[in-house]
Chain A
Amino acid sequence: MSKAHKTARMSVVYVLLTVGAVMMLMPFYYMLSTSVKAPEELYVNRLVWFPSKIVWKNYADAWNEEPYFPRYFFNSAFIATVTTALQLLTSALAAYAFSNIDFWGKETIFMILLGTMMIPSQVTLVPNYAIIAKLGWIDTYKALIVPFTASVFGIFMMRQFFQTIPLEMWDAAQIDGCSRFRYLWVVMVPLAKPIFVTSGLFTFIGGWNSFLWPLIVTNSDHLRTIQVGLSRFNQEFGTRPDLLMAASTFAIAPLVVLFFIAQNQFIQGIARTGLKS
């Protein structure tokens, strides 16, 4: 290929990519620009692309209009954090057993766990609701946290990594009088830190973004998560794009920040394992 040909070809590539990227980002621009618009630029029969003045007050209004937004934020952060911590813990413990201990029933249990991964969560929605109701957990934090404190996928990911740690290390540690739990905690967990970060990130996002489950197991205002609260806000303030866009912005912001902080873990986590939040 000639040099001129190559340059021309690369220019086309850049143009296509840039047009694509701009299109992908347009909804974000629409959200941000609308969130700071004044009423006179909102309720006109055309789209104002560039607001002539920036009304930051919309954010304060959205935050205060619905008295519970700070509460929704707290709930989502709390639920996502606790779920993530517990899920990492149960996954590490189970993965340790699968990778380091030879025990009766290992293959069978492993196959059963693999099988449960096939079941879509919508199938277990009604029975899980019935179980939660039976336990008397409807409208409690327990209902929002406990069912998600273990994950087959989390166990598999960690097991995969734990298997790469040579068993001779455990033999050596054992001679030094190290207990199983201490070995897991002091040797294996620190080695598996990248897996903890990736797995934790996706669990946290899953918790922050989950909608259908919190929608059905909570009724009280004070237990609503940010997503359920936002959906309610949407129904109540359906005619106020400025407030809706401001509220959407603060629901999205923590995830975007998290994404920029841990971009590589995200991308590599997906590229390597096809993780889905």
Chain B
Amino acid sequence: MNQSNSRRKRARDTMAAYLYLAPALIILVVFHFFPAFYALYLSLFDTNLFGRWDWVGLGNYAELLHDSDFIRSLANTGKYVLGTVPTGIALALAIAGLLNQRIRGLATYRTAFFLPYVTPVVAISIVWTWIYKEDSAGMLNAVLSWFGIGPQAWLLDPRWAMFALCLMSVWRHLGYNVVIFLAGLQDIPAEYYEAAEIDGASGWAMFSKITWPLLSPTTYFITMISIIGSFQVFTQVYVLWPSALGGPLGTTRVVVKYLYDMAWGSYKFGYASAIGYTLFAIIFVLTLIQRNVAGRRVHYQ
């Protein structure tokens, strides 16, 4: 009797629960869960989504292996990740360290560093287009001229295009990382430093023996999301090089830009899906490696 009562209650609760879940679940299933599988299905076709639906099996993936433009876009993305993630983390850590010592005007400094992060990428990329202007009217060239450095064609010169892309991205994301590092630093008990100081530890010893290990969960988190975020870069490339296929001689054509070009430029939606899945696989594998290699070295208090 009692048991069937509780069963009935559970059934009633389950009904109620799904009623509450329904709006979110419907949206998430249709636009997040199902598309993840649909993308895999699409990647097995040569299709423009409307008239043409030719089954090619793993043909798209085989083609990707020999597609030098795709390989190039992967390499460009890799360069972008290497150009933004370590620099971004090192700078953010340095700034957070400077901010974390009873600074007067902390809020003002923090705002200055954080402001770029709240700006829309399109608008700020337009601004940087002009900062990077190739003549002496460009702000970067104007600043460099104070040091006797001649003007460079930051966006048009294949040697500088990737650098320009990375610099702008580091600038925009710095504040986000600073805020997270600052929160991590503030979690380290001050007593540790006081004790170390009494023992006569040097600044470097304190950093390497206290700060760095205790900060490792934060560093790990930032590294992870920076890498994942960097793999998905698109808008900056689209706006900084509106006419070209992603930078001079394709030097900044990153994976997502290539996916976009394949889908909405060439209407090869199956092929674009295969690119998307490959990107997913790469991010997934990186996450696993991170978890198993770097994750093990993370100290949790």
Contact = CB atoms under 8 A, between A and B. Distances in A.
B38 A127 contact: yes
Contacts of B201: none
Q: Which of B127, B239, B243 has the most CB of A within 10 A?
A: B127
Interface string B136-160: 1111011000000000000000000
A130 B264 CA distance: 12
B269 A123 contact: no
Interface string B218-234: 00010001001101101
A13 B95 CA distance: 10
B130 A93 contact: no
B36 A124 contact: yes
Contact of B23 (A150, A216, A238, A271): A150
B137 A44 contact: yes
A228 B122 CA distance: 8
Interface string A51-77: 000000000000000000000000000
A131 B122 contact: no
Interface in A222-251: 226-228, 230-231, 234-235, 238, 241, 244-245, 247-248, 251
Interface residues of B, number: 95
A270 B176 contact: yes
Nearest to A93: B20
Q: Which of A25, A49, A127 has the most CB of B within 10 A?
A: A127
A27 B31 contact: no
Interface of A is mostly: helix
A124 B31 contact: yes
B262 to A, nearest CB: 9
B32 A124 contact: yes
A122 interface: yes
Contacts of B229: 276
A119 B32 contact: yes
Nearest to B222: A274
B20 A96 contact: yes
Interface in B272-291: 272-273, 276-277, 279-280, 283-284, 287
Interface string B82-108: 000000000000010011010100011
Contact of A94 (B24, B101, B116, B273): B24
Q: Which of B16, B17, B36, B49 has the most CB of A within 10 A?
A: B17
A267 interface: yes
Given A24-B113, A94-B21, A123 B39 contact: yes
A40 B123 CA distance: 24
Contacts of A190: none
A90 interface: yes
A102 B18 CA distance: 11
Contacts of B31: 124, 128, 131, 146-147
A27 B137 contact: no
Contacts of A89: 23
Interface residues of A, number: 94
A93 B10 contact: no
A51 B297 CA distance: 54
A161 to B, nearest CB: 16
Contacts of B56: none
A267 B114 contact: yes
A106 B17 CA distance: 9
A129 B259 CA distance: 13
A124 B35 contact: yes
B126 interface: yes
A251 B122 contact: yes
Nearest to B127: A31
B52 to A, nearest CB: 13
Interface string B16-53: 11101101111110111111101100100000010000
Contacts of B27: 90, 146-147, 149-150
A91 B24 contact: yes
A265 interface: no
B208 interface: no
Contacts of A149: 23, 27
B98 A180 contact: no
Contacts of A212: 234-235, 256, 260
A116 interface: yes
A14 B104 CA distance: 9
Given A103-B13, A128-B31, A211-B122, A259 B115 contact: yes
A185 B259 CA distance: 44
Nearest to B224: A274
B276 A126 contact: yes
Which A-B residue pairs are the 10 nearest by beta carbons? Answer: A271-B183, A103-B17, A150-B27, A21-B112, A127-B35, A47-B142, A124-B35, A127-B38, A94-B24, A97-B20
20 contacts: A10-B101, A17-B95, A21-B109, A24-B113, A27-B124, A45-B135, A47-B142, A97-B18, A98-B21, A119-B32, A120-B231, A125-B259, A127-B34, A128-B35, A130-B42, A211-B234, A247-B126, A266-B118, A267-B110, A267-B179
Given A101-B20, A103-B17, A212-B234, 5 more contacts: A28-B115, A101-B17, A119-B280, A120-B231, A124-B31
